Structure 1
């Protein structure tokens, strides 16, 4: 910033009876030399020779550089700007900023002034003054009770006056004194709210205001381009005379990455990039003062540079020159992050695996460049090492440093901003000595030896995660920094271990809920005991996947352990549900069969998935067996009976006992078919039923035979019909008997 040359133009104090804002800026620069102030030019609008004064200022502008700052507090601002001929200044690539301390509304209201600022490419820096409609009506009424409501440009100055008077009253009320010093001491760091909003004072008793740098459009439709928002914040550690500011990006969004950002979502902040068709490119740019006439060797060099292609370098897209005031050098855009982003991110664990992988990629890319006709990179640093979406490191900004150095030496190019000292520390000393003797060249040329020196600086930062030449300070400062770093690492370690503990606990809960009912698992986790108990009625279901060994043989999995092909389900245990368990199991069995009938095995589509399901309702006993590996087990004749219902059932059918079937038929919502007498091991001959489907709308007519289904000819195919279509076990006619 110290190399940025700035010139100020302001009215004199006697010109319009106000204290010029530019004079305040000059006082600030005198005490805080962050800019190189070239010229400070004042114009007395009341002077008889005002036109001559303006002409002299315009001539002085011709020999100044870069940035021109003009105060808006001229009486005839539009006339002064016209006489300065800002259009001519804009053709010389000046950046012109109009500082409007009382707001931008009055400028917006002047159509001629707005159009002139737009055509001359002038930026406007002004405070953000939010004026509500209610406040506008209140002020308008107080000025003229019967008059019209004032426009925004007319209300701006009364709003500022109102705010100042309000602050005076607040200070007067808090500190009854006529001394000005006591007033501002009372307001230091204070906050108050009025009809204009909430205001806060800095350490000098001055209202903190947010500012916007904007580019005005030709119309008044409110679509001006806001380039930057400057957010004012109170700070105890500011200098004795001026407030601190936090700069935010376009639209007021901070450019700091989210604290919740993960490795996979991490993206670097890209302020600007070039778009060539669908190709995104990042670029270097330099101010051009003379037309570049390329020689044949230089053109051949650029052609060879464009032809480079390697996994560890970005693509050199091209170079744009002689078309504008700047030269642009374009490389393929890598959006994830730079090596610098990961090195100095304390949340990122840069372990040996990452370090070795990144170092290998740097060496591969650098070796490829050194063996090519380009010879040297020239700008190797942690900022020019890009990490792409696949975690591959790519070198960028290579091969152009010598060209830029030569063009700077002869005055063709110049850096638009000063280069930070930390960047120069990465270059070899012999290269820095060369540019030290050249007033115009600020970019060293590229050499292979210089690349090796820069490589050492990069590796140093990777290993130690700090700058090569840090400002160490005294012993106390170092101890404080070490303690802060240790505290941060300790907090990070505690958080990581806590997260691991929570994850392990969640995994344990999931596994426990897989082998135990949730209510039982919760009691055991709290150290309770689940005593065994009996239940008057529950329903047990067994479902078997038919031909499972055949499917395993066609799938070819590794044979680790055989766990069987039968699945057991119970309802009404451990939570009793007042007789609903029969219907819940019936619904589950129908859904299992329907899913199996429609399921297509991806690697064996010809295989028909069939199930064999049986269930029975009756009394049961249950309890937790085991201490180290607890299991919730069921006991009783009901379990054995349900197992027999499944083992004696044909494929793709659902079989149940007569007792259970009677419960379902009472609801008149299920279609059941009497299978007949089946010999069941340990039970003898048992009358069994097949469950076909769930019916939600039954007619009052008695169905034929023992098939319980509605008399509806237009009804879609039943499950029994689907089974017959799939060549499943048909229903024997001899078993269909009239009840």
Structure 2
């Protein structure tokens, strides 16, 4: 026994003879018996695992049959152990003399117990018929037992599990009687196992012992069935890990790409809420200090008659109307070097020259953008009120501002200074479908050249006193249609917007 050494044999170490704890000592197998492994519901036994188990058992039994022991005699899934590397090792063989008293005691105590009969389900029919079967069994009997173990592996279930309505004692009686057709487990031909493997199992179950294959034949047949495929589970696991590693790299690359796409979406959303330079500083964790700008141009507009329109519209219609209108404005300003500061109700505020300075171009960018917005308004239709004509007032002013981020939750990039107030007054003191300019904006546009302007004269601006203002009528080379300013009633209702 001590001389037997094989990868698929749980080698014999020695015997403890201290009565009453007489026991056989052998190496510890971390995963328990094959029966335990197959019974675990939380473990996924793949075809590679099954293939490896089948090969390991046949190889171990072939070695055991070539040894001086000649046979096992007690082969069953509870006597096949699985080590931490998932290698099956045949155990509980040999030293038959130690089993004589154990067998007699079990027969007396357990003769009527279900567990006693269940333990015999792997026993060959010819051994069941013997009054005193040999404790070491027979090679042919081991082959039969191997066939029952294969049924457990293929179906991941107990022996004869498809006859759950029968008691083990009744099953053994049918096997021992040898009635025709002989009573054996049923293996569905449509299961995942190869048909050649099912043929091999049925050959192991032959009623006549001499018709059963030897383990040498079984090993050769398995090689033929799996066509030279590596049957070593550890090698298969390593190969699977290599494939998984390659696949994991692809997954990581794909997930990284998805992450970059999602980050780009987040960045785009952030850049819509804050200027890009400011957003980049916030992402990097930098403090954003307020910054003074010597000269910027600010645009304000609101809707003439909005209160009246809102009063006869549902809240949902108002939201949809403003969303449609300001989405159109957003499309227009994308073509200019400007920054949309905010929308409050029906008010729309845009600046140029902040947060990115652009020399003196800010007045020209805002003025041309205002003409473009005015052109788009003349073509806009109010979906829920098609009989109403949309009219807006526009005011522009140029001057110094201080800009910075306000707040931590939902931070906003805000402009501060008298320039903002004056731009708001230009809008509220303007007229429908007109672009009202302060004198500072007029001077800057004059120096840029190409803009068509008309003096409005001295008017009283709330909080500012008398100011000379102008109308912006067009721009040389601007081909888009504009309202006919000559036909616009100069005393149109202004309806100042208190939100400013």
- What interval of TM-score do these two structures reach, taking the shorter chain for normalisation? 0.3 to 0.5
Please report the TM-score for the alignment, with normalisation by the length of structure 2: 0.43
Greater helix content:
2
Task: Flag the structure with larger Rg.
Answer: 2
Greater strand content:
1
Please report the TM-score for the alignment, with normalisation by the length of structure 1: 0.30
